[in-house]
Structure 1
Amino acid sequence: MKNNNGLTTQPIPKLIRQLTIPVSVGFFFNTMYNVVDTYFGGLISTQVLAAMSLSLPVFFVIISMGSGISTGVTALIATALGAEDREEARLFAIQGMIFGVFMSFGLTLLGIYISPFLFTILGASDEYLSICLLYMDTLFKGVIFFMLIYMFNSVLQSLGDTKSYRNFLIFGFVLNIILDPWFIYGGLGLPPMGIAGIALATVLTQVTGSIYLGTKAYRTGLISCRKLKDIFPRAAAFKEIARQGLPASLNVMTIALGVFVITYFISKFGKEAVAAYGIGMRVEQIVLIPTIGLNVATLTLVAQNHGAKKFDRIFEILNSALKYGGIFMGIGSIGIFILAEQFMTLFTNDANVIRIGVTYLRIDALVLYAYIILFVSVAALQGVKKPMFAVVIGIYRQIVAPIAVFYFLAYVLGFGLTGVWWGIFFVTWSAAVIALIYS
């Protein structure tokens, strides 16, 4: 069946806007979803806020697998569609679903088993540890729904449909505003659940999302099973999904491990530092929303045009994405630098947390365009089925360089916590330059 979605023929700037804007709008609401969680967590206590911040790298290690496999499946389906081989696209879509379900069960068990150990490494103990585990154990029970959403969205993204996921994220944001206070404080027959209520609201939102996106994906015809054997795992398909998806998963996981490394160093400076970093990350996520849209647009467009062997368009895609990213991040950097204190006071009235967070945000404002360069370059390489560079640069940026640079700046040169913030600056920019040269 001929692929008529126009991703290999229409003007590149138009396509980038067409794909980026819905994704960016959706992820704005996804980020605001997290902001709502952070806001209500802060209302409970600073310790709960710190526990949620500490939980981020632990859960991110788990969901990074889903995100990475989704990236790999998107590249495979989009490449097949670009080559006008819809049957192969259907095969990868169905096998991707099965692969994701199997993986979700393993990740749930792994997460429940290793999370106490990881939290202990990060310095949690006694009541602090109990709060972290209460939050995470609830989230782990919903891993399969996170995974299904990733897989369904990979089908939709490969076809250029970024609006369905946007719609889910907007609905999820509204639903979370309703569920968070209800589950936290109780009422209408429900007992107060505290931080566990925040996690339960997230799981229920994922359930609704998996139903909605599953319906949309089924209507594309790419996950329709014509024969019973279609639903059985196929070694060749699993191997190709793993070959493309696992490097992408490892790349995303290095981000999680990077947050783990950063949190490890920050935790040495107290709970206030951890809480400030957690708030700062939420603010950063808002400003970096366009990078998610550009990332998805670059991956989808490069994969389809690579499949269609239109290599000249690939370079135009990369250049256009970097140009749009520069505009977005220029505005975002100025906003964060000027309004850092105002952003922090939205989430806490703790003067020490605000002071630490303002310093972080103003240094972070100087890093933002480096993320654009890095993410767009990696997405382009994933689109041409060269995923291993993402793993290499991820290990450098998230693990090897941070450990050395953070220690040197914070302890050897004696800059303390500020040394960690400047370490993020130096490491991220060096990785961005390397990625751009390679791509």
Structure 2
Amino acid sequence: MGMVFNTLYNLTDIWFAGYLGDDSLAALSIAGSVFFLLLSIGIGIQTGASAMIAPEVGRGAMHDGTSQIKEWVDNIIGMAIAFSVVSLLLGAVAARPLVVLLGAEPHIEPLAMEYLWVTLAGSIGFTLSFAAAGALMALGDTHSNRNALAIGFFANFALNPLFTFGLGLGVTGIALATVTIKLATAFYLLYVLAKRLNIRIRPAFDWPRWQALLKQVLPASFNMLTIVLGGFITVALIGQFGSQHVAGYTVGLRLEQLLLLPALGLNSAVMAIAGQNMGAGHNSRVAETYQKSLSIGLVMALMSVPVMYFLSPLMVGFFTDAEAIRQTGVTYLRIDALAFYAYVVLFQSVAVLQAIRKPLFPMYLGIARQLVIPALINYVLIVVWDYPMVSMFYTIVAVVIGSAVIAHFYTRREIGRLP
């Protein structure tokens, strides 16, 4: 439910950008791709926090004064702050060239940069939120993050029109609302975490712990980076057909993410439960958790695919009346519906592998699935052979299905190797 509210939050931004005009909608679509590319180095913090703390919980550290858990929390927060600084520095250098690379026309580029400068300045709110949410998830608390995301959605619905139209800030207002809410979310989650553990959180730099953390965080971050880079390359190629098609793809992608959110929520639960079971030595339950997640995910797919196919014109039309934007969004949703359950299998496979501290294979698979294979195929199709834009969507489906099959059998093998 928290992730549903998070995606509704993003859709709210897109909705208000649409009211500012098609140029603002295209600018926000391009800027969002750049921002998440830069932020991806910090997104792995959530996975790393859960991977390191959940086994401690399984070993009973919650009942021995939480000294080990406190040390992990302090170092995770320290790393989150460091990653936010890196994101800001990289953004200052690379943001504008990346916006241009994604096909932003001269009248779109300034609008995209308006959004980016504000969100990059407030990136610490994003990384701290990820860190605190990952720690709470490992402790079995998903309610606090859900509550924060739900309140954030309603706050965004209030602040967006206030900043964007009431104060006349335009795209800057959308970004300012997001940064304000993310900072408030970070403070709230850190307060809940400190209260739950009865500790005072102090950012720490303990190099041996940072090394152990980085072994989990960097592969997860790099996996996320490949996902974002893959989308980045897709957007860059779609941008050759015009920024309105970029906007249509972004709207379709956000709607697909909304439908995939129950599976992503399942992914978070699987990671925490599998990690706790491994820490407690109940390895047979790791296999049981994985199998049940696939069954639940199948039910989710059977419910979501018809919505994705038949209601896509209605859903996309809610955000824009522009024919090019609408047609691209609907086309993407209908084609990618073929790979919906494959996404579910991938999510659960990656969650289990990260929970049992086998993060490298998801990273390698992500590089191949998100980056190397689609980039090569789509470059040949679009640039060399001059195929239509829709061919890229079929490439996505084929690669996702193939990757899901490989990930499933690899995960089963690694579970079978647990002592």
**Which bracket does the TM-score occupy, shorter chain normalised?**
over 0.9
Matched-pair contact (CA < 8 Å) for 2:343–2:404 = yes
Give the counterpart letter for 1:304 in structure 2.
Answer: Q
Secondary structure at the counterpart of residue 396 of structure 1? helix
Find the counterpart in structure 2 of residue 184 from structure 1. 164
Find the counterpart in structure 2 of residue 327 from structure 1. 299
The 5 Å alignment of 1:3-152 reads: 25-85=1-61, 86-152=66-132
Find the counterpart in structure 2 of residue 17 from structure 1. none
Find the counterpart in structure 2 of residue 389 from structure 1. 361
Find the counterpart in structure 2 of residue 363 from structure 1. 335
Give the counterpart letter for 1:149 in structure 2.
Answer: S
Give the superposition deviation at 1:203.
0.5
Give the superposition deviation at 1:415.
3.7
Q: TM-score scaled by structure 1?
A: 0.90
Q: Distance in 2 between matches of 1:349 and 1:129?
A: 22
Find the counterpart in structure 2 of residue 217 from structure 1. 193
Q: Distance in 2 between matches of 1:288 and 1:103?
A: 27
Secondary structure at the counterpart of residue 107 of structure 2? helix
Q: TM-score scaled by structure 2?
A: 0.94
Matched-pair contact (CA < 8 Å) for 2:216–2:359 = yes
Find the counterpart in structure 1 of residue 318 from structure 2. 346
1:97-118 deviation per Cα after TM superposition (whole angstroms, max 9, x unaligned): 1111122112112112210111
Q: Distance in 1 between matches of 2:203 and 2:146?
A: 28
Q: Does 1:168 align with 2:148?
A: yes
Q: Distance in 1 between matches of 2:279 and 2:370?
A: 31
Matched-pair contact (CA < 8 Å) for 1:83–1:307 = yes
Secondary structure at the counterpart of residue 311 of structure 2? helix
Q: Distance in 1 between matches of 2:12 and 2:83?
A: 29
Give the superposition deviation at 1:222.
6.5
Secondary structure at the counterpart of residue 241 of structure 2? coil
Give the superposition deviation at 1:57.
2.1
Matched-pair contact (CA < 8 Å) for 1:77–1:90 = no
Unaligned 5+ residue runs, structure 1? 1-24
Find the counterpart in structure 1 of residue 249 from structure 2. 277
Q: Distance in 1 between matches of 2:310 and 2:247?
A: 21
Distance verdict in 2 for CA 1:111–1:420, change over 3 Å: same
Distance verdict in 2 for CA 1:412–1:433, change over 3 Å: farther
Find the counterpart in structure 2 of residue 405 from structure 1. 377
Unaligned 5+ residue runs, structure 2? 412-419
Between stretches 409-418 and 27-36, larger displacement belongs to 409-418
Secondary structure at the counterpart of residue 293 of structure 2? helix
RMSD: 1.4
Give the counterpart letter for 2:43 in structure 1.
Answer: S
Between stretches 287-296 and 61-70, larger displacement belongs to 61-70
Find the counterpart in structure 2 of residue 202 from structure 1. 178
Q: Distance in 1 between matches of 2:405 and 2:198?
A: 38
1:303 to 265, 275, 284: 275
Give the counterpart letter for 1:158 in structure 2.
Answer: A
Secondary structure at the counterpart of residue 284 of structure 1? helix
Give the superposition deviation at 1:62.
2.5
Q: Distance in 2 between matches of 1:103 and 1:74?
A: 17
Q: Does 1:417 align with 2:389?
A: yes
Give the counterpart letter for 1:336 in structure 2.
Answer: M
Between stretches 279-288 and 119-128, larger displacement belongs to 119-128
Give the superposition deviation at 1:243.
0.9
| Identity level (%) | 35
1:249-303 deviation per Cα after TM superposition (whole angstroms, max 9, x unaligned): 1011111101101101111111221111011011101100112211101110111
Between stretches 357-366 and 123-132, larger displacement belongs to 123-132
Matched-pair contact (CA < 8 Å) for 2:77–2:204 = no
Give the superposition deviation at 1:412.
5.7
